[in-house]
A and B are shown apart, each in its own frame.
Chain A
Amino acid sequence: MLRLDHGIGHTFGHEFVGVVHEVGPSVQHLKVGDKVMVPSNIFCGTCYFCARGLYSNSHNVNPNATAVGSIYGYSHTTGGYDGGQAEFVRVPFADVGPSLIPDWMSEDDAALLTDAVATGYFGAQLGDIVEGDVVVVLGAGPVGLFAAKSAWLMGAGRVIVIDHLDYRLAKARDFAHAETYNFAEHDDIVVLLKRLTEGLGADAVIDAVGAEADGNLLQHVTSAKLKMQGGSPVALNWAIDAARKGGTVSVVGAYGPLFSAVKFGDALNKGLTLRMNQCPVKRQWPRLFEHVRNGYLNPSEIITHRIPLEHIAEGYHMFSAKLDDCIKPIIVNDAA
């Protein structure tokens, strides 16, 4: 989470499903009692950007910034909306955002589709993968796992996942059929990736880490801890250096608005295509629903924990310190 300007009292949570409790006077398509899944982005559906499919970049929802759209429970910079980790949440533009959860879909799969699955697939899509491409995914968290899996759907010839947590790399092998390497076991991960590709580099590299990358001590303290950079650019810099010349770097890891020391010169001199965005979640749904139904994507396979809402502080600590082989916890509200 980018702790830029949260505001104490802000409720987190941008990946949630629930039951409609009340509808506003203008709502036409939803009624009380409907079971819905809510995309992580808040979007109006009709502004210049929404009309062009850029749902994550809606201009009518975030007075705080023009550079980013709105996300539930994500900071003041993304609009100051409360999120879903509560008994109730306000869902603006209920006629364009939420969808009814299909009968055949589990609530777990539905919850994961509201961000992580869609974002992972989007990351692969931004890689512009063609048949036989060598695709490297940095980060074996939920988004990286779904990106690796999605790369195959788009015809990748080889999918390589990099992380430092062995249990997550094991998941990348089982769940996403990927080749895996632990960067903590190698001096220089860029050199390893060059060796694996006979010196060429990867056709596409997907940064599914973002600003939380660990880096060296100085980077870790200035970015992850003190938030003095807009995030540690370690993963992005590895992506730039590991891609082949003329290749594509896709960024779906989250970075904040502050400056980060990115190796832009390498990207320029290698002629890379850099593609990135927050995922326009609902744009992805029709195709992703088909993939889930056909069994090509089984989102709930990555769920490792269920945390009751009242134990959420411990859940956060476990997730952030990566305890107990945690990959994806789901928060459950049994009281509701």
Chain B
Amino acid sequence: MPYTAAKPDLVPSSEELRARIPGWGVDLDPADRPSVPRMRDPEPAPGAHWTLPEQQEERWPRERSIEHMRLTPAFGTSCPPKGLSGVIRKAAYARYSEARAAHWLLLMLGDRVDMVESAVTSALRGRPDNPITETGILSEPRRHGISSRFGRNRADVKHQWLDPVIVAGPWVLAGWGAVRAARRLRRGAA
């Protein structure tokens, strides 16, 4: 009881646990745990044969945090900024530090704009997104979508009806907007 100094008797004896659980207590001594989080004497990671790694080639002005003193020697090249999303991303990096909400909110906005731009670009290239195969929704019938969810005390089932609305909603709205715009154009032309 926390109301007196005595430690409540909550756990079995160490002997009992050692007998029941394979490996119980092998890392009881913190010295046996990989040292964490800091080593006292700095030393390079095994295998490193450089003091400062050589600089990776910068093929475009690489967006980077203004909290960095320089471009890091290595970096990913997976998604060069392009289009409007690229402009938004570059703005997020150019002005705001990681401490600023504006930095992250602009990056999120860039991500959403990138989604739309990419959907439109792939449609224009004749390879439109396929919401049936590409969302993985076909695993619902193949992986017991119904029996996996119901009668099983799952906390998330209560709001899963929202998922299709949130996933499909923007597409339905965009489609409706496109139809309306097309009609207005036709009416204007007539």
Q: Which chain B residues have a beta carbon within 8 Å of chain A's beta carbons?
A: 1-3, 8, 10-12, 14, 17, 20-28, 30, 32-39, 42-54, 62-65, 67-68, 71-79, 89, 93, 98, 101, 104, 107-108, 110-111, 114-115, 117-118, 133-140, 142-145, 148-149, 152-156, 158-160, 162-163, 166
Q: Report if A165 contacts B (CB, 8 A).
A: yes
| Closest chain B CB from A53 CB (angstroms) | 4
User: Cβ of B75 and Cβ of A52 under 8 Å apart?
Assistant: no
Bin the interface of chain A by size: 35 or more
Q: Report if A28 contacts B (CB, 8 A).
A: yes
User: Cβ of B74 and Cβ of A93 under 8 Å apart?
Assistant: yes
Q: How many A-B residue pairs have CB under 8 A?
A: 289
User: Cβ of B24 and Cβ of A220 under 8 Å apart?
Assistant: no
- Taken together as a complex, chains A and B put the C-alpha atoms of A161 and B46 apart, in Å, by 36
- Taken together as a complex, chains A and B put the C-alpha atoms of A317 and B42 apart, in Å, by 44
User: Cβ of B152 and Cβ of A5 under 8 Å apart?
Assistant: no
User: B143 — which chain A residues lie within 8 A by C-beta?
Assistant: 314, 318, 323-324, 326
Q: Which chain A residues have a beta carbon within 8 Å of chain B's beta carbons?
A: 3-11, 26, 28-29, 42-46, 48, 50-55, 59-67, 70, 76-77, 79-82, 92-93, 95-96, 122, 125-126, 128, 131-132, 134, 150, 152-155, 157-158, 164-167, 177, 182-185, 197-200, 214, 217, 220-221, 225-227, 244, 257-259, 275, 277, 280, 282-284, 286-287, 291, 294-297, 313-318, 321-326
User: Cβ of A324 and Cβ of B144 under 8 Å apart?
Assistant: yes
User: Cβ of B37 and Cβ of A54 under 8 Å apart?
Assistant: yes
User: A258 — which chain B residues lie within 8 A by C-beta?
Assistant: 101, 104, 108
Known: A66-B68, A284-B34. A323 touches B73 (CB 8 A): no
User: B2 — which chain A residues lie within 8 A by C-beta?
Assistant: 198-200, 244
